[in-house]
Structure 1
């Protein structure tokens, strides 16, 4: 019996995507494509589900459409052939649909996105989703597409990518907002415009789902990059699964981990798409195998399915070496598949405030503080979840520590919840401008500090005072190449002081503001609080006056990481998991029934003068040691996959102590508990 799409795709950890953006002028389109052989090779490689093109970026359709623009040189129903071949072999097919539709944008200039005059670079030649294109092209095409025996539809660019001031956007905004369209990218009017864009994006998803589900209610709908930290929000019920192709231009392994961790917290099935390329989509080079495996490992360690992207050749042929690479990655995943269906064990939570993200006045929010805290915790061996505020609110009291990393807008309901959480015994860490509004810190009373000035200070130093903070640090103050807020302690203990950075008098001479000519030296006079802690009820609330996590993301100071790690040791009073490993090892803790799973992912970059950062050969870590709190002795402890590394363990005084030797890329410590026993 064929499983419903939702169940089947949830169980499919091995997926592929094949780009086939082919300009209308190409006359060899699909001339070398054999649908039966294509699907047969995928099945042999171990693929379970794949995305295949229905409509490309140009607006070409690859099915026998009566309403859209079929590729002028395509004389076959390419999508139909692939769907039929896939169903015969039990593979799942997701149709790829690109919303930009450049052909219709040129054919109907009145439908085009025009950008916004106050936002340089926002002009591009593609369809505006507020134009009549939605009713005249989009909905009819989707209803036609839904008649195929598909498992789902993957949408690319189903949201407003840039601000737009076209006729349709102006009229729609003014009608809904009841005020003039904003001509400047600032102020109240612009914030209202960003709120309106968010509603437009939500309506686009609802429109797409409605059109597809009116024909086939079982179709799964996924929207690339929707509901990510840069466009946060609760996915609607009509979304079948979450997806994004991570930005591989910097550090693909880190990107994969960050987004998988955030998606995992939204409680929906999800995939993370990576590619087989050296330089993301605009490339044909092969990524090293061990690099690809490390990316897959980071995804599955955080609860996701892996989708590996490739290009078809212009005539529809495939690169056999790319398929072989994919096959090896699928084999790697399959060896671990039995233990992947699981959920994250609550321990440390990182808050993402949706209201704070949208209040920035950007279509894509700046999430650097969240990326920074994720990176720092990862490199410190601290298992954590990155959670939307609405999600964290549901399980707040399950976490031993909550971190609020420069989230300027905190909803009043959540402020109240944090007060209750700390009073009940929870630990809270707040940084920089979190909850800052109207010259006050909304969490100030809880933190025991008051704001002295809303104007941030550029550069400074943190000088630890508490003995617990100085462990492993140099005697000199720690340079923070980022911003501070000036605060005073009211009811909090000062654990570290802020020292200002010296600024020489300006005379107009060159190099006066160079951080090497006196500028930036620490000034001992006038020290102010940098790190404080307040005891509230049974819990504690700590505050860091620096934008410490944003700074770490851009500056990567080992001393900052050690300082924060020491602070975490003071705040997490009831440890669940302790890890001794180099910063190259990512650790996640998950659970499935009576099974506790500790994922260990190892990766290091090769020397490179530029990004993206890659590794041709991952060097094994000689020894990883960890301690995991378990209420009772486990019935069995093993390392999976067998034979790739060595495990020694013992259980004593409520702790499982384990040592893994020779960790290569990914191993899992599996602790099987007897029925009815407690655990992590």
Structure 2
């Protein structure tokens, strides 16, 4: 998989004339060179339904008069740029108006993406309808006729559908379309059938050609869905609705699947389909560096002008980032993430639900990742099938119900010395009545008060001793063999029409109302959904309480410590074949612009970043990459210490060992 990819959107209405009229082979090649691009995804078929090449399986765009796809592939291959080919699988607006009976319908017979035909926008097809028999020949035609380096199929996934085809199929099988479980099960079968047919069709022509099915998010816990692809492309445009939380969370999970993957951002100020919108070059430098630091290749989204010329400003912008990526590739190939902590994803633990296009991150997962990144904790994200053994601490955030199988796995993990950090409702059995793992506490029910207060029995690093408000739902527990690290305090009453005080919540009643944080040989329990709370409220007391617990659990087993500020990101990877570690330092500070858009503009130099590293190997050399500058370090009793005098945006430190 190439490191410097472009995803070149080309969704072009039939109402626009002159399609491809200004395409020029030399200009196309020159822009790819200016952008330091080594792979570009080009279009066979767009969301409007048109083909951009002569076609018997589809119809060529009415205002295109030559083989644009073929010309792009030929031009790219001449300069050693790969060309995966894109087909819109879930959307085809041309066909939607001819066969509205093939579209996905909700229980009220509304279509999606837009709910009718009097609004501008696309309508999604049901892949259980005859439409699939139209789509497969379109894919076959591209694979047979063009030298594609892969196939990218868009807008697909497990869907809930109440179209006539799906309703009739359920009823014919004796199932009830009013049963959500039956509808979801059919959606699962429909998607599996679609991916199987695609794979069989391609392999009959070009066996093993890479295929990716894009749904905008890689669902944690669904290894079966991930395995329907040859590789993964993590669509994650920070300004386009994904935010800056999504990619680190998604990448840390993808790394554990053992599949090649890339991180896909965009050149846009906002999101797909924005003409004339550009993010600051520093944002793209940071986002591509973030991909490298998380073990991913890079992809940047662009959209071609209908007349077919490549935008010079875009490729100068991309080139500033990809020039740096090109210089760093050698230290990013076959690099395995080093982690002390595993985060068991809430999304993975409740992965049976249908896809949610809005909530790609999840509040508990997002809050946990924010704390781990800000606390400079080395971590992976795992699912229920993951191997917990390599990790020193396993986090069960907020909402992890424990089945009998998971309980046995956790017991084995604890028996070999692993430690648990459990919060809120996590750790309870599937009935929600008792803890399924031994933490030296007994569950007595949900707290009747919300919010509540936590009074730690330890000093927080940044705050004096106090009772701190925790906004999320709390669980009541009794200690029966656990040490109490902090207590809860109730408010005088819940805020109600007849009982309220001041502007927000009721103040604390300064009385011990039971344990709020406990410690047991198996781990630490915190009695609130603290990660969800942090994602929503971002309270400093939440983060410092959790990091205190993690530091107690890790003790002197923590691999890396640094003084890098909260907005900085630290990762550590190991290139075993090269006998070296690569330690990544990143720093940028997103700010809000407009209504809820986070942007990165200024990249300030970071001075005197101190790092302490504990690794089993004998470190013999340290240097900065890609600069090659030697970096002084000390080594004593397995502790390697060094200081990076100055970096901007991204710096790699390479540590070679015997």
- TM-score w.r.t. length of structure 2: 0.91
CA distance in 1 between partners of 2:430 and 2:247 (Å)? 37
Q: Is the 8 A contact 2:453 2:491 kept in 1?
A: yes
Q: Is the 8 A contact 2:31 2:312 kept in 1?
A: no
CA distance in 1 between partners of 2:77 and 2:305 (Å)? 24
Match of 2:163 in 1: 166
SS at match of 1:635: strand
CA distance in 2 between partners of 1:330 and 1:64 (Å)? 33
Q: Is the 8 A contact 1:590 1:597 kept in 2?
A: yes
Match of 1:295 in 2: 287
Q: Could you report, residue by residue, the CA deviation over 1:24-70 in whole angstroms, capped at 9, with x for unpaired residues?
A: 12221111112453134313432111111111111111122101122
Structure 1 unaligned runs (5+)? 1-8, 183-188, 675-680
Q: Could you report, residue by residue, the CA deviation over 1:628-680 in whole angstroms, capped at 9, with x for unpaired residues?
A: 1133541211111328x994421112111011122211111111011xxxxxx
Match of 1:344 in 2: 337
Q: Could you report, residue by residue, the CA deviation over 1:166-193 in whole angstroms, capped at 9, with x for unpaired residues?
A: 11121334456x42112xxxxxx32443
Match of 1:566 in 2: 548
> Does the C-alpha gap of structure 1 residues 399 and 231 become closer, same or farther in structure 2, counting only changes over 3 Å?
closer
Match of 2:624 in 1: 639
> Does the C-alpha gap of structure 1 residues 520 and 625 become closer, same or farther in structure 2, counting only changes over 3 Å?
farther
1:356 equivalent in alignment to 2:356: no
Q: Could you report, residue by residue, the CA deviation over 1:150-178 in whole angstroms, capped at 9, with x for unpaired residues?
A: 110111112245x32111121334456x4
Match of 1:49 in 2: 39
1:156 equivalent in alignment to 2:142: no
Q: Could you report, residue by residue, the CA deviation over 1:91-120 in whole angstroms, capped at 9, with x for unpaired residues?
A: 110111112111111101211222222999
Match of 2:572 in 1: 589
Alignment partner for residue 388 of structure 1, among 383, 387, 399?
Answer: 383
1:110 equivalent in alignment to 2:81: no
Match of 1:179 in 2: 175
Q: Is the 8 A contact 1:456 1:486 kept in 2?
A: no
Q: Could you report, residue by residue, the CA deviation over 1:175-221 in whole angstroms, capped at 9, with x for unpaired residues?
A: 56x42112xxxxxx324433442343333222222222221113101
> Does the C-alpha gap of structure 1 residues 387 and 175 become closer, same or farther in structure 2, counting only changes over 3 Å?
farther
Alignment partner for residue 92 of structure 2, among 71, 95, 101?
Answer: 101
> Does the C-alpha gap of structure 1 residues 259 and 453 become closer, same or farther in structure 2, counting only changes over 3 Å?
same
CA distance in 1 between partners of 2:220 and 2:414 (Å)? 29
Aligned counterparts, 1:183-332, within 5 A:
189-225=179-215, 228-229=218-219, 232-235=222-225, 237-249=227-239, 252-283=243-274, 284-332=276-324
Shift of 1:16: 0.7
Alignment partner for residue 539 of structure 2, among 545, 553, 557?
Answer: 557
Match of 1:4 in 2: none
Q: Could you report, residue by residue, the CA deviation over 1:240-276 in whole angstroms, capped at 9, with x for unpaired residues?
A: 2101321433675443323222221221101111111
CA distance in 1 between partners of 2:396 and 2:493 (Å)? 31
Match of 1:605 in 2: 590
SS at match of 1:239: coil
Q: Could you report, residue by residue, the CA deviation over 1:561-597 in whole angstroms, capped at 9, with x for unpaired residues?
A: 1111111110113121112210011011110112111
CA distance in 2 between partners of 1:35 and 1:405 (Å)? 53
Aligned counterparts, 1:73-92, within 5 A:
73-92=63-82
1:657 equivalent in alignment to 2:641: yes
CA distance in 2 between partners of 1:306 and 1:479 (Å)? 41
> Does the C-alpha gap of structure 1 residues 454 and 437 become closer, same or farther in structure 2, counting only changes over 3 Å?
farther
CA distance in 1 between partners of 2:500 and 2:45 (Å)? 53
Q: Is the 8 A contact 1:273 1:308 kept in 2?
A: yes
CA distance in 1 between partners of 2:594 and 2:298 (Å)? 29
Shift of 1:598: 0.9
Alignment partner for residue 393 of structure 2, among 401, 425, 442?
Answer: 401
> Does the C-alpha gap of structure 1 residues 362 and 544 become closer, same or farther in structure 2, counting only changes over 3 Å?
farther
Q: Could you report, residue by residue, the CA deviation over 1:528-567 in whole angstroms, capped at 9, with x for unpaired residues?
A: 22222222xxxx2222221111111121112211111111
Match of 2:137 in 1: 140
- TM-score w.r.t. length of structure 1: 0.88
> Does the C-alpha gap of structure 1 residues 174 and 455 become closer, same or farther in structure 2, counting only changes over 3 Å?
farther
> Does the C-alpha gap of structure 1 residues 449 and 313 become closer, same or farther in structure 2, counting only changes over 3 Å?
same
Q: Is the 8 A contact 2:607 2:646 kept in 1?
A: yes
CA distance in 2 between partners of 1:101 and 1:400 (Å)? 49
Q: Is the 8 A contact 1:415 1:443 kept in 2?
A: no
Q: Is the 8 A contact 2:348 2:384 kept in 1?
A: no
Q: Is the 8 A contact 2:447 2:473 kept in 1?
A: no
> Does the C-alpha gap of structure 1 residues 543 and 648 become closer, same or farther in structure 2, counting only changes over 3 Å?
same
> Does the C-alpha gap of structure 1 residues 619 and 173 become closer, same or farther in structure 2, counting only changes over 3 Å?
farther
CA distance in 1 between partners of 2:237 and 2:433 (Å)? 34
